[in-house]
């Protein structure tokens, strides 16, 4: 594998040298024209940068772009709503802090996630979601499903998610230099949102945005309790763990030194707090099934905070190989999850549920830098050679833990890697690309053990256009991800240990993608196969252990899973558009399997979800300024014998199907275009349902036969919810 990639890269470098010899003989008039264009507006400069980047991009695997404008029109305020239109993506967990994203059945912690270039590695707590994102701030999200190209960075086992936040240019009207935007919203199930932004630009060298967003979800009701005790709700009417109060902010500035040089500074903060049970994604269970412990009587103050900051310098090159695009990014992501006891009504439960009653102060920090260079090949921007280096430091700690001889209460890792990749059109309608990266992972675990894992991550792609309107893409990738810190909550668990000789995880992805575009419709389809070997399982069952004082217990162990994980599946979609009308349909199904069976619940690997269909209709009444859209999501029942990777056993799983329908209205008065009214009704027919990617077992690492797992107690999703938002721009 390595030899083939080496020869392929030698072939590309030979083409590069030959082309550069030709370039030095040419002096084109276009070069002179380019130098005269120093008076471009910031919008023009940004557009040129985007075009240059997209034209040189290493075309790879199955990519989806999600628009922040769509989030505005649908009044999105959590991850479930964010990805509702994507049939290949499922979100489980119910309440805001319990939500986890699953792409093709794989959990988001297997992705390379970045927000404005800041890596988001880390898993604070297996009963909480990993991503803290505010939809109000987002300009777009780029999703690469399956496995990402080398330039995305280290560890993209199941793909990547790249989040770009908004800037002043996304709010300013043409010719406007300063603006102000206010928004007020109310939700019938049950909450409010207030947002304000101020932004400006001198139209030449500088622009800046400051945005604040307040979101308070008091609680929500599921479909069975939407209309019960409307004015005097009982605790049973409110979904336990659903409250969330957020104070979020974004500051972003661009400095344009020249028409080709730009520096971007971005800082965002997400601050979520509420009173919930310790386990955010499971609700009250019968105390008789849980050793007499009632989760509803053990409440914690949750404070989840994420600070992201990055500084990015970009130099835009030319068509000449000798004048490449250059990008340098330095970033930090500082997260803190503080869990302190709010009330415990029964003091005896402290002895029965040590994990569920112990305060935590969890820290997850990422810091690093990326350096990238992109050369045009052959005076054609669609041909490119890219290379770069990456460094990342990743540290976790529980500040409440007192170190012992076996447990240090913290972990840290350093990741150093580099990559090279290229794509070249060998024919007008045939492009080939290849690349590889090599990464070193230095990991110092909670048991005072050092681990060094490393490996190559090669990839290749062939893109063929049999006709101008059709793309056929075949891709293959092999990804190596070394050992890194995992579940931060386990740092305070004295019965948890790390295997001495962890191996790097290895993932492979083979995929066929077909896209066809017509004047009135578009078709797309994908078939894929992915496997993951040596998956690092943080919750393996260990054996008896005896402490120095003679106390004995069964321990859990973080070790490589001895069986491979195999995922295969397919996706299809159809879009029809005529004048102001749009209709779209998509379908997705993946089969994540171990030992020939779909997986049972896991904390960190994935979830099995049934056939998923998404249907959307939209019509734009442009004359009156009204847009109406309808969105339906159908998930079929899934009944199967599942394999439990923690207990090496099989059990019966039955996840009911569901249908959810939403309708959205956007109104912009033709004579007052600074004003916008958004109205939506979500879950229009008040369905009661639990996402199939929400936990099937209360305790995933406990056996299915244990009493705590006798009844599924995942959080149900919200029932009918009407949402109204008023926006005004000055």
SS3 assignment, position 242: coil
For residues 85 and 82, give the distance between their C-alpha atoms in angstroms, rounded to a whole number.
Answer: 8
For residues 228 and 240, give the distance between their C-alpha atoms in angstroms, rounded to a whole number.
Answer: 16
* pLDDT over threshold 50, residue 24: no
Sole residue written with tokens 């105390």: 287
* pLDDT over threshold 50, residue 402: yes
CATH number, position 459:
2.40.170.20
SS3 assignment, position 726: strand
pLDDT of residue 19: 43
Q: Are 41 and 203 in contact (CB under 8 A)?
A: yes
pLDDT > 70: what percent of the chain? 88
Confidence of residue 568 (pLDDT cuts 50, 70, 90): very high
**Strands 552-560 and 496-498, sheet pairing:** parallel
For residues 87 and 635, give the distance between their C-alpha atoms in angstroms, rounded to a whole number.
Answer: 9
Confidence of residue 332 (pLDDT cuts 50, 70, 90): very high
413 or 358, higher pLDDT: 413
Q: What is the pLDDT of residues 56-74, one digit of tens each?
A: 445 555 788 999 999 999 9
Query: Residue 669 — φ and ψ, nearest 5°?
Result: -55, 130
Identify which of 142, 172, 132 has the alpha carbon closest to the alpha carbon of residue 63: 142
47: which residues sit within 8 A by CB, 6+ positions away? none
Confidence of residue 44 (pLDDT cuts 50, 70, 90): very low
Half-sphere exposure of 470 (CA within 13 A, CB side): 7
Tokens of 355: 């994990």
For residues 690 and 712, give the distance between their C-alpha atoms in angstroms, rounded to a whole number.
Answer: 10
What 8-state DSSP symbol labels residue 405? S
Identify which of 643, 647, 482, 480 has the alpha carbon closest to the alpha carbon of residue 557: 647
CA dihedral sign of residues 711, 658, 721, 68: positive
Please tell me the total count of domains within the chain.
Answer: 1
Give the mean pLDDT of 168-186.
96
Calculate ∠ Cα 221-231-684, nearest 5°.
40
For residues 452 and 39, give the distance between their C-alpha atoms in angstroms, rounded to a whole number.
Answer: 51
Q: Are 124 and 165 in contact (CB under 8 A)?
A: no
For residues 582 and 85, give the distance between their C-alpha atoms in angstroms, rounded to a whole number.
Answer: 14
For residues 670 and 385, give the distance between their C-alpha atoms in angstroms, rounded to a whole number.
Answer: 48
Q: What is the pLDDT of residues 289-319, one digit of tens each?
A: 667 677 777 889 999 999 999 999 999 998 8
Q: Is 567 left (phi over 0), alpha (psi -120 to 50) or beta?
A: beta
Q: Are 201 and 288 in contact (CB under 8 A)?
A: no
Q: Are 307 and 331 in contact (CB under 8 A)?
A: no
* pLDDT over threshold 80, residue 55: no
CA dihedral sign of residues 390, 42, 76, 105: negative
pLDDT of residue 334: 97
SS3 assignment, position 276: strand
Residue 600's domain spans which residues?
2-729
Q: Is 379 left (phi over 0), alpha (psi -120 to 50) or beta?
A: left
For residues 464 and 380, give the distance between their C-alpha atoms in angstroms, rounded to a whole number.
Answer: 17
Q: How far apart are the first and last CA of the chain?
A: 58
State the pTM of this model: 0.90
């Amino acid at each position: 594998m390595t030899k083939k990639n080496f020869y392929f890269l030698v072939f590309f470098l030979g083409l590069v040298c030959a082309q550069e010899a030709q370039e030095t003989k040419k002096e084109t008039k276009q070069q002179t024209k380019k130098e005269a264009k120093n008076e471009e507006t910031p919008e023009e400069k940004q557009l040129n940068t985007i075009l240059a980047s997209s034209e040189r991009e290493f075309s790879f695997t199955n990519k989806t772009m999600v628009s922040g404008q769509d989030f505005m029109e649908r009044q999105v305020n959590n991850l479930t709503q964010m990805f509702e239109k994507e049939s290949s993506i499922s979100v489980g967990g119910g309440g805001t802090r319990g939500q986890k994203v699953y792409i093709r059945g794989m959990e988001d912690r297997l992705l390379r996630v970045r927000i404005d270039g800041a890596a988001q590695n880390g898993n604070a707590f297996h009963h909480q979601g990993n991503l803290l994102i505010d939809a109000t701030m987002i300009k777009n999200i780029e999703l690469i499903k399956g496995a990402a190209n080398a330039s995305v960075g280290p560890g993209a086992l199941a793909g990547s998610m790249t989040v770009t936040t908004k800037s002043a240019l996304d709010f300013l009207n043409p010719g406007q230099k300063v603006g102000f935007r206010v928004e007020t919203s109310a939700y019938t199930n049950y909450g409010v949102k207030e947002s304000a932004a101020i932004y400006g630009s001198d139209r030449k060298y500088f622009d800046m945005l400051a945005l604040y967003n307040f979101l308070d979800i008091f609680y929500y009701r599921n479909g069975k309790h939407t209309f019960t005790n409307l004015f005097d709700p009982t605790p049973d009417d409110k979904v336990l763990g659903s409250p969330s109060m957020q104070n979020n902010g974004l500051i972003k500035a661009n400095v344009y030194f020249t028409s080709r040089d730009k520096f971007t500074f971005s800082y965002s903060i997400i601050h979520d707090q509420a009173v919930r049970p310790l386990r955010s994604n499971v609700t009250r269970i019968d105390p008789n099934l849980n050793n007499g412990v009632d989760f509803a009587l053990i409440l914690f103050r949750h404070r989840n905070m994420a600070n992201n900051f990055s500084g990015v310098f970009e130099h835009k090159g030319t068509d000449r190989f000798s004048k490449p695009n250059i990008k340098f990014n330095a970033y930090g992501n500082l997260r803190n999850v503080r869990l302190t006891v709010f009330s415990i009504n029964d003091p005896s439960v402290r002895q029965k549920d040590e994990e569920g009653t112990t305060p935590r102060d969890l820290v997850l920090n990422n810091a690093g830098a990326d350096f990238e260079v992109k050369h045009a090949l052959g005076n054609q921007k669609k041909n490119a050679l890219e290379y770069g280096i990456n460094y990342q430091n990743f540290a976790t700690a529980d500040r409440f833990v007192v170190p012992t001889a076996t447990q240090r209460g913290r972990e840290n890792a350093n990741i150093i890697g580099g990559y090279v990749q290229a794509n070249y059109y060998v024919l007008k309608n045939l492009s080939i690309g290849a690349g590889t990266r090599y990464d070193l992972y230095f990991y110092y675990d909670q048991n005072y053990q050092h681990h060094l894992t490393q490996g190559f991550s090669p990839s290749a792609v062939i893109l063929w256009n049999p006709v101008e309107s059709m793309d056929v893409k075949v891709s293959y990738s092999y990804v190596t991800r070394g050992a890194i810190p995992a579940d931060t909550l386990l740092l305070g668990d004295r019965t948890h240990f790390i295997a001495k000789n962890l191996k790097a995880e290895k993932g492979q992805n083979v995929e066929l993608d077909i896209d066809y575009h017509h004047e009135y419709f578009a078709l797309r389809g994908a078939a894929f196969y992915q496997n993951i070997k040596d998956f690092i399982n943080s919750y393996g069952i260990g054996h008896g252990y005896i402490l120095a004082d003679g106390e004995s217990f069964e321990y859990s162990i973080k070790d490589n899973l001895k069986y491979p994980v195999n995922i295969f599946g397919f996706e299809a979609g159809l879009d029809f558009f005529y004048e102001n009308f749009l209709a779209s349909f998509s379908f997705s199904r993946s089969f994540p399997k171990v030992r020939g069976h779909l997986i049972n619940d896991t904390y960190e690997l994935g979830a099995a979800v049934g056939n998923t269909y998404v249907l959307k209709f939209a019509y734009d009444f442009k004359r009156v300024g009204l847009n109406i859209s309808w969105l339906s999501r159908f998930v079929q029942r899934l009944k199967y014998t599942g394999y439990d990777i923690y207990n090496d056993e099989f059990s019966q799983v039955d996840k009911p199907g569901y249908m959810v329908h939403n309708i959205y209205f956007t109104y912009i008065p033709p004579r007052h275009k600074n004003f916008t009214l958004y109205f939506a009704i979500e879950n229009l027919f008040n369905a009661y349902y639990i996402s199939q990617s929400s936990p099937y077992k209360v305790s995933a690492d406990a056996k299915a036969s244990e009493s705590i797992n006798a009844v599924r107690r995942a959080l149900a999703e919200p029932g009918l919810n009407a949402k109204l938002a008023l926006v005004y721009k000055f």
